[in-house]
A and B are shown apart, each in its own frame.
Chain A
């Protein structure tokens, strides 16, 4: 046993990793930077930060020890340290408990070696890395990758040599066989003879499709005497849709596929089955494996996503659902630790699945045995932290993207004409504004029709419009301070004699109010920290679909309505992220599920997310309008079910008109990484700003640039004239285009007033506007409103990870920029400059220099077909994994695989058609003694079928199998013993005859029969299932009602065959792909026999026989 020998090594490594034992001696050879990161910073963080750091919010005694300047400045007792002089440094006094009044840490004295670390650090000059207090990029610290590390076979490039020469020329069909035979010959072994054709056909069928051959298939194969009969059988198996179902199950074991989150309530994972169906389709279409991998990691980011050939939807993006198939805690008290655990699982699963490497160890310390560093681990974390979870409308995504592009180009093309036309349509009315205003002043407060007519006629004005003005300039408008004419309305309420004298004062007073409101607003906003501003041209733009347009709407740009006849047009008064109501109809196709808990509202297609940001310690203030929801994704948590994190979601009811502030108290998450997601819940929804500040800013003041105009007014006439001029300027801005100056939004507010009051302005008809409405409506007809949803990634903005010192999410260490493990992908990988970098991840992973991906997958395929991988530990090719039995063959297969376009089907075919695969599995005493574990493949393995295959086989043989593919899972049948929170509805005993891959995988209610037969509990990559032997397996086959039911179904199906011997033969053919022997027939007849010759056996006897056959080892094993 080599295990116990390793234990002391582990203990040593742990000591070393703890930074406490023996590192001082070892440290003398380290650079200052290394010494600091390995020994000093962890010590400070663990022992001191809780009372003396920015993060803890505490600086007891006025001291903070999380940066050099604060240490040098010191606290109430003076500077904490003097570089180079440990004996005069207070810090050393404190930690060595020299002074009764100054003892740190107060509760527990540090060990001598810990004190020695501080002492040495100060002696060496108290090195602190440049940059923030949390650190700059980690220097090469801890384990340095040495040449011996890279000596491990798996790090070596693929070396595909010629197949070796062998002396026995009679055996072997393919190069594969020469590799196998060479080893056998070298060990004085010889390959087993070829299995008989029936055994071989059954073996191939289960290997490829996981189902038994029908009697017709097997007999046709036996009858086919052509030399390539077997190859044809293999081809037909690979062409069967069942192939994808069989091999998808293998893949789902790798990605810990589940349909519920486990834990307390076993909450549903919405639409997980879409991923399962995606894998089946990908395999059946023989998607090149490198493309498949690319889709898992970055399918949402491909420039040209793969489209479903029959339905045209985006297949690639569904691949990224793989990240989110893991468990989930609905209400973790320590939300950051929960994220660390989730990320750990994602990183671990992805590295095991694609690279066959375990990086999980590196979470707490540099990997002991493989050249994987802690910062490698956290660098991978950061890729995922830079992305986020969503449910994507994958069916409509590409289609609607095209619709949106057409819409955008229509709007762009018509913009200029529309501006000119709108300005022109309003110009006539605006030119008469002064006249109407002054005429209104002549009218009494409530003028009669005749009074209006008289005044209008006197000034050559329209009766109706003047009547409208008189009505508008009433007391209501006087109090409505955001109406540009409110001052004039106020003046009109005064007795005629007082109007002129008071007009200037009223106008000036109003101007003062406006200025103050503007100033107060600006000051309040400035007092807050701006986290997101859609006025900033550099602000990240991350909509989850097309409904927010191609970018933030600039101030002064058009905001479009959905109405065909009259696309209710206004101009944007602020830069905003604005939901385009043309997409109001986006909804779900049946069978689609929403997220559970507090996020159970329609988000897909209606959501705009922000970049990643770090929350501060005051409240969040969001400036928005309309009805919508805000979700603060703190630490990427998305399973909000229960009160603890309820504050992360807020719904705005839309009852407050216009722009207003929404507050969110997220102070308990200060220091956490987060992003926000805004979701439109009705047509009108927009967001402008996201701030963080102690007090809420006042409501935004009216934007119109009225103050100057009001201040210069010294009479009613000049006021009316000034307002007309102002409106003329606004029209000029409309005509001139958006964003021409900083006040575009303010001018837009005036123009919007005009657009909103056609009766007062007398807007002329606008042909371009009408035309736009028509064409917009035409395009909108093409919108695909219904779509299924699938889990997918949404790319966020890049964040670099922090090393968590010793794996603790409470101890932030140095920054770990995103990159792939250094030992494989090099130390000088280009920095990732935008987005999550997952596309770069995929590119690097699949680069020709990476030997892992092809080796890992061909080894997995070999494992499934032959029974044991060339590297038996299929998920670990690292130093603790097993050594390859046939390394040259592995490299040969890997190289062929890449050369052959990464085709899994062709790889399977080449292995299946080899003589190696075709060997008999019969025991061979002398050879078995020489090669007891059959490591050299002197014969085939005999193997127990997996639980799914046994169940599918029973259904196939009984005739109950429903060949239908895809769709929502069939709930599994629950036994009475399956109780507990989140217990789902029990499903039909026979699962509606569907293949096992279509039965639900609810984590807390897994099928007892599947569990008994080692179907893995989905928590981590499981490329090699256990093949255990427990009595529960026997009990299930002996007594499970499903098995007995199917025995009866089978017996009934065969009832028309009256001849008992013939019927027995049919049963044997169906169950074992072979006819019975004479001895078997007589044993069966004796079992059936009632004892009286000529009397037919009872139906029960036939059912019993069927049941016995299900229980025979030949039925559940493949030879």
Chain B
């Protein structure tokens, strides 16, 4: 780093620290200090910022938009087959469409995988091969039955719009370990979740912590492509800009706000090359590309494969929080949200994500990155074990499956249980707050201590809730 730029970075940190005194939580303050250290010595963030030793440095959040059916994926229920077509015997809670049919058996068969022998449905054969690295939580619950509320809840711990996303909390709490990329990146496969980009927002946290949306393809970020035909044209302009800005600094004196903004131009300038560089996978081996399914016949497998590969590349670059949204498989299969056409829709969606996700786990593991990377797979809720219409399932927030893998996770574990229909969690019932608490714990952060004062309260990702899911920790 050139010395001048380093000075600018230091100034920026100083200005941030100055404003910290007004409202930053202690953890963030320490993280920022850590980041100053990073800027000084070029090494990774020291762990002294943490509440306890971290098991993971980065999170890859595989968001399964619309809600995967737990009884068709990771929570087999033989009773459904026995009672297929018969009236559902448990009390049915109100559902989104209230067009509830009879018991619907899973169209897919399950078989045990790995040493742990955990059953996985044929929808996820590739992921099944990685099951010994995965902890399957079958007793997750959510507070909302509508996509949007449930999405906000999943992403921010609150069903309302406008709260900081877990990715924003994570980067706020840990700082970024990457100089030329944002700390929270959303790889958009094509589907923006119901609720929009607010699912990735920084809410009341400073805007620097909001998720940056990267699209697959050449122009991954808004305005990332220089307008100028040749780099030297832009450099000339920026040179004049720097010179004029310099004259302003001469007149105005040392002003944090101005200096931060000037530093931002340097980051933006760097991103113009770092982002295309990130997206340029020409240096990846053919074996790797094949592993991720970049040569798959199904175009959506290729899309998601590229996202997974880029996720790994982001982890390598030190990005803290990476979320993947689903590709739009089209053909009436509206995300995982199969109110009808379950057979086709779930099969298509699984076909798009199964191989790439397994590839990501295998590739991370092979490169020694999985132990430092927490991978989380979940939808905003599950689906009903009884039918909607003849071939659909409605939303079910009362018991569904989430799985985690990687840093600090005890692979080959099953945690919690739903009832014999797979409708409601009955054993080790947990909720999204618990997922968030566990995630932060693995990152070395105490979810109760990661706070930000807003509107007269010390706000937390987990509000006043959250229990760490001890049973899945290694």
Interface positions of A from 320 to 370, Cβ below 8 Å from B: 327, 329, 331-334, 341, 345, 348, 352, 358, 360-361, 369-370
Interface positions of A from 1022 to 1043, Cβ below 8 Å from B: 1026-1036, 1038-1041
Most chain B beta-carbon contacts within 10 A, residue among A644, A924, A1034, A1083: A1034
> Which of A10, A881, A942, A1031 meets B456, CB within 8 Å?
A881
Interface positions of B from 217 to 260, Cβ below 8 Å from A: 221-227, 233-234, 236-238, 240-241, 243-245, 247-248, 251-255, 257-258, 260
B288-296, B410-418, B432-440, B447-455 - interface stretch: B447-455
CB distance from B426 to the nearest CB of A (A): 10
A942 adjacent to B194 (CB under 8 Å): no
Task: Give the complex CA separation of A785 and B221 in angstroms.
Answer: 51
B268 adjacent to A1038 (CB under 8 Å): yes
Q: With a CB–CB cut-off of 8 A, which chain B residues contact A921?
A: 252, 255
Most chain A beta-carbon contacts within 10 A, residue among B29, B96, B188: B96
B69-77, B112-120, B159-167 - interface stretch: B159-167
- The answer to the question of A496 belonging to the interface, with a C-beta cut-off of 8 Å to chain B, is no
What does the 1/0 interface line of A923-958 toward B look like (CB < 8 Å)?
Answer: 111001000110000000011100000000000000
CB distance from B113 to the nearest CB of A (A): 34
- The answer to the question of A125 belonging to the interface, with a C-beta cut-off of 8 Å to chain B, is no
B196 adjacent to A923 (CB under 8 Å): no
B26 adjacent to A4 (CB under 8 Å): yes
Q: With a CB–CB cut-off of 8 A, which chain A residues contact B263?
A: 1029
Task: Give the complex CA separation of A1107 and B234 in angstroms.
Answer: 11
A1029 adjacent to B261 (CB under 8 Å): yes
A932 adjacent to B18 (CB under 8 Å): yes
A358 adjacent to B456 (CB under 8 Å): yes
Q: With a CB–CB cut-off of 8 A, which chain B residues contact A327?
A: 160-161
Most chain B beta-carbon contacts within 10 A, residue among A263, A1008, A1036: A263
Task: Give the complex CA separation of A1014 and B248 in angstroms.
Answer: 24
CB distance from A337 to the nearest CB of B (A): 9
Q: Taking CB as reference atom, which chain B residue is nearest A1100?
A: B233
> Which of B192, B196, B208, B245 meets A1030, CB within 8 Å?
B208
A272-280, A837-845, A974-982 - interface stretch: A974-982
Task: Give the complex CA separation of A976 and B215 in angstroms.
Answer: 10
What does the 1/0 interface line of A905-932 toward B look like (CB < 8 Å)?
Answer: 0000000000000000111110010001
Task: Give the complex CA separation of A14 and B226 in angstroms.
Answer: 53
A333 adjacent to B96 (CB under 8 Å): yes
- The answer to the question of B195 belonging to the interface, with a C-beta cut-off of 8 Å to chain A, is yes
- The answer to the question of A1087 belonging to the interface, with a C-beta cut-off of 8 Å to chain B, is yes
CB distance from B459 to the nearest CB of A (A): 11
A262 adjacent to B198 (CB under 8 Å): yes
> Which of B244, B267, B455 meets A352, CB within 8 Å?
B455
- The answer to the question of A821 belonging to the interface, with a C-beta cut-off of 8 Å to chain B, is no
Q: With a CB–CB cut-off of 8 A, which chain A residues contact B97?
A: 643-644
Task: Give the complex CA separation of A370 and B455 in angstroms.
Answer: 12
- The answer to the question of A286 belonging to the interface, with a C-beta cut-off of 8 Å to chain B, is no
Most chain B beta-carbon contacts within 10 A, residue among A876, A933, A1111: A1111
Task: Give the complex CA separation of A1114 and B243 in angstroms.
Answer: 12
What does the 1/0 interface line of B260-304 toward A look like (CB < 8 Å)?
Answer: 111111011101100000000000000000000000000000000
Q: With a CB–CB cut-off of 8 A, which chain B residues contact A943?
A: 257
Q: With a CB–CB cut-off of 8 A, which chain A residues contact B203?
A: 1017
B265 adjacent to A1039 (CB under 8 Å): no
Q: Taking CB as reference atom, which chain B residue is nearest A1109?
A: B244
CB distance from B180 to the nearest CB of A (A): 9
Task: Give the complex CA separation of A1028 and B234 in angstroms.
Answer: 25
Q: With a CB–CB cut-off of 8 A, which chain B residues contact A1117?
A: 257-258, 261
B94 adjacent to A333 (CB under 8 Å): yes
Interface positions of A from 590 to 613, Cβ below 8 Å from B: none
- The answer to the question of B419 belonging to the interface, with a C-beta cut-off of 8 Å to chain A, is no
Q: With a CB–CB cut-off of 8 A, which chain B residues contact A1040?
A: 222-223
Q: With a CB–CB cut-off of 8 A, which chain B residues contact A1109?
A: 244
Q: With a CB–CB cut-off of 8 A, which chain A residues contact B448?
A: 7
> Which of A942, A1032, A1083 meets B258, CB within 8 Å?
A942
Q: With a CB–CB cut-off of 8 A, which chain A residues contact B464?
A: 14
- The answer to the question of B129 belonging to the interface, with a C-beta cut-off of 8 Å to chain A, is no
B258 adjacent to A1034 (CB under 8 Å): no
A1079 adjacent to B146 (CB under 8 Å): no
> Which of B213, B215, B248, B455 meets A358, CB within 8 Å?
B455
> Which of A332, A643, A979, A1030 meets B207, CB within 8 Å?
A1030
What does the 1/0 interface line of A1042-1082 toward B look like (CB < 8 Å)?
Answer: 00100000000000000000000000000000000101100
Interface positions of B from 157 to 198, Cβ below 8 Å from A: 159-162, 182, 188, 190-198
Q: With a CB–CB cut-off of 8 A, which chain B residues contact A1079?
A: 247
Using known A-B contacts A643-B98, A643-B99, determine if residue A878 contacts B456 with beta carbons closer than 8 Å.
yes
B457 adjacent to A358 (CB under 8 Å): yes
A1111 adjacent to B241 (CB under 8 Å): yes
Task: Give the complex CA separation of A1025 and B148 in angstroms.
Answer: 26
- The answer to the question of A656 belonging to the interface, with a C-beta cut-off of 8 Å to chain B, is no
CB distance from B42 to the nearest CB of A (A): 20
Q: With a CB–CB cut-off of 8 A, which chain B residues contact A352?
A: 455
- The size of the chain A interface, using a CB distance under 8 A, is 98
CB distance from A689 to the nearest CB of B (A): 29
- The size of the chain B interface, using a CB distance under 8 A, is 89
A1104 adjacent to B245 (CB under 8 Å): no
- The answer to the question of B389 belonging to the interface, with a C-beta cut-off of 8 Å to chain A, is no
Using known A-B contacts A266-B196, A329-B149, determine if residue A7 contacts B449 with beta carbons closer than 8 Å.
yes
A361 adjacent to B456 (CB under 8 Å): yes
A1017 adjacent to B201 (CB under 8 Å): yes
A1087 adjacent to B210 (CB under 8 Å): no
A1004 adjacent to B253 (CB under 8 Å): no
Q: With a CB–CB cut-off of 8 A, which chain A residues contact B44?
A: none
Q: Taking CB as reference atom, which chain A residue is nearest B159?
A: A341
Q: With a CB–CB cut-off of 8 A, which chain A residues contact B206?
A: 1026, 1028
Task: Give the complex CA separation of A880 and B457 in angstroms.
Answer: 7
What does the 1/0 interface line of A830-867 toward B look like (CB < 8 Å)?
Answer: 00000000000000000000000000000000000000
Q: Taking CB as reference atom, which chain A residue is nearest B197?
A: A1004
Q: With a CB–CB cut-off of 8 A, which chain A residues contact B244?
A: 1080, 1083, 1108-1109, 1112, 1114
Q: Taking CB as reference atom, which chain B residue is nearest A1086?
A: B240
> Which of B198, B236, B451 meets A1017, CB within 8 Å?
B198
Most chain B beta-carbon contacts within 10 A, residue among A6, A882, A1030: A1030
B252 adjacent to A1108 (CB under 8 Å): no
> Which of A10, A924, A1017 meets B253, CB within 8 Å?
A924
Closest CB pairs A-B (n = 8): A923-B253, A1019-B162, A1004-B196, A1028-B207, A1034-B268, A358-B456, A980-B192, A1039-B223
Return 27 A-B CB contacts under 8 Å, by A number: A10-B458, A263-B161, A264-B194, A329-B149, A333-B144, A348-B455, A358-B457, A360-B457, A369-B456, A643-B97, A921-B255, A922-B252, A923-B253, A976-B215, A980-B192, A980-B193, A1004-B195, A1014-B207, A1019-B161, A1029-B260, A1030-B264, A1033-B268, A1034-B267, A1038-B265, A1113-B245, A1113-B258, A1119-B252
Extra A-B contacts (13), CB below 8 Å, given A361-B457, A1011-B210, A1087-B236: A1-B29, A6-B458, A329-B148, A358-B457, A370-B456, A923-B254, A933-B21, A1034-B268, A1035-B224, A1039-B225, A1079-B247, A1083-B243, A1114-B248
What residues of chain B have their CB less than 8 Å away from a CB belonging to chain A?
A: 12, 18, 21-22, 25-26, 29, 94-99, 144-149, 159-162, 182, 188, 190-198, 201, 203, 206-208, 210, 212-213, 215, 221-227, 233-234, 236-238, 240-241, 243-245, 247-248, 251-255, 257-258, 260-265, 267-269, 271-272, 448-449, 451, 453, 455-458, 464
What residues of chain A have their CB less than 8 Å away from a CB belonging to chain B?
A: 1, 3-4, 6-7, 10, 14, 262-264, 266, 327, 329, 331-334, 341, 345, 348, 352, 358, 360-361, 369-370, 643-644, 668, 872, 875-876, 878-882, 921-925, 928, 932-933, 942-944, 975-977, 979-981, 1003-1005, 1008, 1011-1012, 1014, 1017, 1019-1020, 1026-1036, 1038-1041, 1044, 1077, 1079-1080, 1083-1084, 1087, 1104-1105, 1107-1109, 1111-1114, 1116-1117, 1119
